[in-house]
Amino acid sequence: MSDCIFCKIASGEINASIVYQDDEVVAFNDLNPQAPTHVLVIPRKHVSRVSELEEADAALAGRLILTANQIVRDLGLVEAGYRLVLNCNEGAGQSVWHVHLHLLGGRTFGWPPG
Ligand code: AMP
């Protein structure tokens, strides 16, 4: 999508602090981190929100989680615990309309989330 900021990060048109990328996904540091580690993992394919993922996207959806798990292992954050979050629609706090998995780590987290 030409006006999607995360599509532009995936294509390299806009700079981001990229921590991992391959043919399917890109992971980069959040501009406004909510934890010492706050990485966003996105599919290169434009999908506006998690509710729009379809059966054909099953492997891609799994890839988002597996990518986050690998980053967490690389950073040595598994033992301490980490949180993966997908916000869907404004009521849940979604502000960028391209699916993104938040990977948060490096601190303790409360429950329920705000
Ligand atoms: P959400 O509120 O779940 O839609 O999350 C969107 C996230 O994208 C927020 O945490 C923002 O800080 C982050 N964000 C927005 N623009 C950028 C950008 N250009 N580079 C990195 N992170 C961004």
Å from CA of 89 to ligand 1 middle? 14
Record the pTM.
0.98
Q: How do residues 79-104 score in pLDDT, each as one tens digit?
A: 999 999 999 999 999 999 999 999 99
Closest C-alpha to ligand 1, atom 18: 31
pLDDT higher than threshold 90 for residue 1: no
pLDDT tens for 26-79 read 999 999 999 999 999 999 999 999 999 999 999 999 999 999 999 999 999 999
CA distance linking residue 49 with residue 90, whole number of Å: 11
Is 100 in the active site? yes
Which band of pLDDT confidence, cut at 50, 70 and 90, is reported for residue 114? confident
3-state SS, the chain, equals CCCCHHHHHHHCCCCCCEEEECCCEEEEECCCCCCCEEEEEEECCCCCCHHHCCHHHHHHHHHHHHHHHHHHHHHCCCCCCEEEECCCCHHHCCCCCCCCEEEEECCCCCCCCC
pLDDT given for residue 36 in this prediction: 98
Dig out the tokens for 75 from the structure: 């950073």
Q: Which residue among 3, 11, 31 is best mutated to probe the pocket of ligand 1, counting the most ligand atoms within 8 A of its Cβ?
A: 31
